[in-house]
Chains A and B, each alone.
Chain A
Amino acid sequence: MKKRCWRILAVVFWLLLWQTAAMAVNQRILLVSPLETLQALFSLLQTAAFYQSVAGSLLRILAGFFAGLVLGVGLAALAKIYMPLREMLFPVMSAVKATPVASFVILALIWIPSKNLSIFMAFLMVLPLIYSNFLEGLNRADAQLLEMAKVFRMSAFNRIRGIYWPAAFPYLLTAMRLSLGMCWKAGIAAEVIAQPKNSIGSALHRAKVFFSTPELFAWTLAIILLSVTLEKCMLHLVNRLGRGLENAR
């Protein structure tokens, strides 16, 4: 309870500081107040374009996220079984992880249509994180349990359910949490550059071009709120799926 109070106090403190700074600057083009930001957000919420942009961005970024998730999990499972594949993938995954988003955005614009750029960027953010974390989790499977499984000739499916999945699941969850935030941010950044139709990135770019700072702040607030909501929904879904698999039999 005490911690919760402090957290609320901290939010109030920073909002007040923001309001004070906006009043001191007194130029809407440079810094808008929290109240003006909220007003701009409410205005945006009343337009159809807002929902079209949110839906467009969500669809593209989630498509990239799920592609990275599925391929990352699949490749990690194969890499666990086949050592040569693991070694082949090591430099690729390390390079993708270390390459700055900006380099990928510029390179990708040469290779693929701009409307698909955010899908590709989201995919690239997710793939190496999911792959490396899930593989690490699989490698942490209890060696003594694996010996037991060998002696009792447990089927591959039962080994996955009873031994590998519980070991790898927490790692997958952490990777999903991390990569969802990253791919959301990278996806929006890619949209700002590529400006596909019906996207938050394009809306942000438009707000900047027309010096509409309240709208810029409102879109940023919307991005933050969507990011938090998305993460909570996704983790809830994954937790349910995880429990479902454990109780499948």
Chain B
Amino acid sequence: MRVERLCKAFEGKPVLTDCSFSFPTGETTAVLGPSGRGKTTLVKLMLGLLRPDAGTIDPEGAKTFAAVFQEDRLMEHLSARKNLRLAVSTPDQQISEALTALGLPARDETPVSQYSGGMRRRVAIARAVLADADVLILDEPFKGLDPAAREVAANFILSHCPRAVRILVTHDGAEKSLMQVKNVLDLGMAKEA
């Protein structure tokens, strides 16, 4: 997947200027940069949730997208299992396995609104991974998880999405190594350069 000279401004204030980068398949690329430098804007542009003011996004054959958003974005009144069922067309057995692998109860009917922050985050991760998409965008995916849960979640993502274009938005160096980051797009540097 490639973005070419991507520009986006909000109310005349440029957030992303001339951003070009290639995101290789089967590898994790980290998108770094201080707050307000357009990391989330870039993510939304790539997911088709925003239109660029200028520049192009070439999916290079990628057709399906999935994301762990900064917010969990779960359907609060539904259980973890139903959240997954509604968002992804995965067999029940795989859903149970994913929930168990991430340390979540597989047959629990409790609405996710009653889950802890860490549990909710893991449901959001399971949803993105089970979508089996060509491009997987992870916007601060391990927020609220303890170190052990982060490691489990990172291994789960890497083992289930080995061929996807993986894009990790993070501030955290440890997350980069957990996700075996090979490429870095530093929006802070790009701006200053």
**Nearest CB in chain B: distance from A142 CB, A:** 8
Do A249 and B77 touch across chains, with their CB atoms under 8 A apart? no
Q: Can you add 4 more A-B contacts, CB < 8 Å, to A145-B75, A147-B69, A151-B48?
A: A151-B67, A161-B86, A166-B76, A246-B77
Give the residue of B73, B77, B78, B127 whose beta carbon is less than 8 angstroms from that of A144: B73
Do B87 and A152 touch across chains, with their CB atoms under 8 A apart? yes
**CB nearest to B127 among chain A residues:** A152
Q: Decide if the interface of chain A is mainly helix, strand, loop or mixed.
A: helix
Contact-residue size bin, chain B (C-beta under 8 Å from the other chain): 20 to 34
Complex Cα–Cα for A249 and B77 (A):
14
Complex Cα–Cα for A246 and B75 (A):
11
Would you call B143 an interface residue if the criterion is a C-beta within 8 Å of the partner chain's C-beta atoms?
Answer: no
Complex Cα–Cα for A181 and B120 (A):
41
Do A144 and B48 touch across chains, with their CB atoms under 8 A apart? no
Would you call A153 an interface residue if the criterion is a C-beta within 8 Å of the partner chain's C-beta atoms?
Answer: yes
With contact pairs A144-B71, A152-B127 given, residues A158 and B64 touching in the complex (Cβ less than 8 Å): no
Do A154 and B86 touch across chains, with their CB atoms under 8 A apart? yes
Instruction: Select the residue from A149, A152, A246 with max chain B CB neighbours within 10 A.
Output: A152
Would you call B65 an interface residue if the criterion is a C-beta within 8 Å of the partner chain's C-beta atoms?
Answer: yes
Would you call A162 an interface residue if the criterion is a C-beta within 8 Å of the partner chain's C-beta atoms?
Answer: yes
A154 CB contacts on chain B under 8 angstroms? 86-87
With contact pairs A150-B48, A153-B64, A246-B78 given, residues A162 and B86 touching in the complex (Cβ less than 8 Å): yes
Would you call A148 an interface residue if the criterion is a C-beta within 8 Å of the partner chain's C-beta atoms?
Answer: yes
**Nearest CB in chain B: distance from A152 CB, A:** 5
A150 CB contacts on chain B under 8 angstroms? 48-49
Do B71 and A151 touch across chains, with their CB atoms under 8 A apart? no
Give the residue of B48, B69, B77, B85 whose beta carbon is less than 8 angstroms from that of A148: B69
Do B127 and A151 touch across chains, with their CB atoms under 8 A apart? no
Nearest 5 A/B pairs, CB to CB:
A162-B75, A148-B73, A158-B86, A162-B86, A152-B87
| Number of A-B pairs, beta carbon distance below 8 Å | 48
Instruction: Give A125-167 interface residues, CB cut-off 8 Å to B.
Output: 144-145, 147-154, 158, 161-163, 166
With contact pairs A151-B49, A154-B87 given, residues A162 and B73 touching in the complex (Cβ less than 8 Å): no
Give the residue of A144, A152, A158 whose beta carbon is less than 8 angstroms from that of B66: A152
Would you call B131 an interface residue if the criterion is a C-beta within 8 Å of the partner chain's C-beta atoms?
Answer: yes
A249 CB contacts on chain B under 8 angstroms? 82, 85-86
B131 CB contacts on chain A under 8 angstroms? 152
Complex Cα–Cα for A158 and B85 (A):
9
Complex Cα–Cα for A147 and B139 (A):
14
Binary flags per residue of B35-71, CB closer than 8 Å to A gives 1, else 0: 0000000000001110000000000000011110101
Instruction: Select the residue from A148, A149, A150, A162 with max chain B CB neighbours within 10 A.
Output: A148
**CB nearest to A152 among chain B residues:** B87
Complex Cα–Cα for A166 and B67 (A):
23
**CB nearest to A247 among chain B residues:** B82
Give the residue of A144, A151, A163, A246 whose beta carbon is less than 8 angstroms from that of B65: A151
**Nearest CB in chain A: distance from B66 CB, A:** 6
Binary flags per residue of B69-104, CB closer than 8 Å to A gives 1, else 0: 101010111100011011110000000000000000
Give the residue of A147, A151, A153, A166 whose beta carbon is less than 8 angstroms from that of B75: A166
Complex Cα–Cα for A145 and B82 (A):
15
Complex Cα–Cα for A161 and B75 (A):
10
B77 CB contacts on chain A under 8 angstroms? 166, 246
